Structure 1
Amino acid sequence: MKPSVTPRPGAIAIRRAVARDAQRLTRLVRGSRAYEGPYAAMVEGYRVGLDYIETHRVFVAVDTEDPANRVLGFYSLVLVPPELDLLFVADGSQHRGIGQLLVQHMKGEARAAGLDRVRVVAHPPAEGFYRRMGGLPTGTVPANPPAVAWDRPELHIPIP
């Protein structure tokens, strides 16, 4: 399957993830500063594999002017049940609107798939971001030690 590329202002494009992205996405997840300290156990050993990329709608944001085609961020939309499973922006690429672009793209993908809402189980420090993106609180997902030793906010993002 040929990846589609969606041009974005500021030399950022969103395209479908392909096999060669798996290792880069795994490094992005494991190296995220958002998961340091008490949150480290959740991503320790985490892997974004080819099977995951082929099974779900995984999209990456790339810098179109970077010869290395560096991945700036990515998201994964699971269709059944509808959930934004992963959304990461590289530490050095944050505060550039990439997360917002990824959520907007995800909403378009969800709409095209006929979804009316998408569930998000948020990393606690990211709850404010999801609320700014239109997420509405629906509850709390209890801790599941040892990997997830804290409760997480649950939201849904309406898909108009």
Structure 2
Amino acid sequence: MERSITSGSGSISVRRATARDAKRLTRLVRGSRAYEGQYAAMVAGYRVGPDYIESHRVFVATDGGDGHVLGFYALVLAPPELDLMFVADQSQNRGVGRLLVAHMQTEARAAGLDRVRVVSHPPAEGFYRSVGAVRVGTASATPPAVAWDRPELEFLIPADGSGP
């Protein structure tokens, strides 16, 4: 399913990722300013491979004009989890994250899920809560890559499409 919005800076579309997107998605993850400093170890050497894209529901938000990748998410069905979600630094505060979350909820509903877990990057907790996720716990650190506890949140997915 493709979904799009129009913002002050143009249209944004969401489409299924393909193996050809792997390098661009990897660059987006590794280049994220949200993972500088103490969080850098988590994405150092991280790779979004073609095999990952083919085995999970990975969707990309693109600029409707030039097809430039603005962000992406990965929905894992079993167990239900929003495994990855990144918005390019220069695309933040344009509605891209909200569009990706709404798209994820639609995909989750279509797959018959009633909830989706998110283990959040600590600075992203406020965003997830602002789009309807509820904090349900804390995921403990798993050194050496993740040396800090992370908020665990959950999106409830109503069967009728109502809700945030």
Q: TM-score, normalised by structure 2?
A: 0.92
For structure 1, list consecutive stretches of 5 or more residues without a partner in the other structure: none
Q: Residue in 1 aligned with 2:5?
A: 8
**Aligned positions of 1:16-27 closer than 5 A:** 16-27=16-27
**Aligned positions of 1:49-128 closer than 5 A:** 49-66=49-66, 69-128=67-126
3-state SS, counterpart of residue 148 of structure 1: coil
CA deviation vs aligned residue, 1:95-139 (integer Å, no higher than 9, x gap) = 001000000000000000000000000000000111111111111
Q: Residue in 2 aligned with 1:148?
A: 146
Distance 2:105 2:124 in 1: 18
Question: Identity, % of aligned pairs?
Answer: 72
Q: Residue in 1 aligned with 2:161?
A: none
Give yes or no for contact 2:33–2:89 (8 Å, CA) kept in 1: yes
Structure 1 residue runs of 4 or more that deviate by more than 6 Å after TM superposition:
none
Q: By how many angstroms is 1:85 displaced?
A: 0.3
RMSD: 0.8
For structure 2, list consecutive stretches of 5 or more residues without a partner in the other structure: 159-164
Match for 1:72: what amino acid? Answer: L
Match for 2:4: what amino acid? Answer: P
Match for 2:3: what amino acid? Answer: T
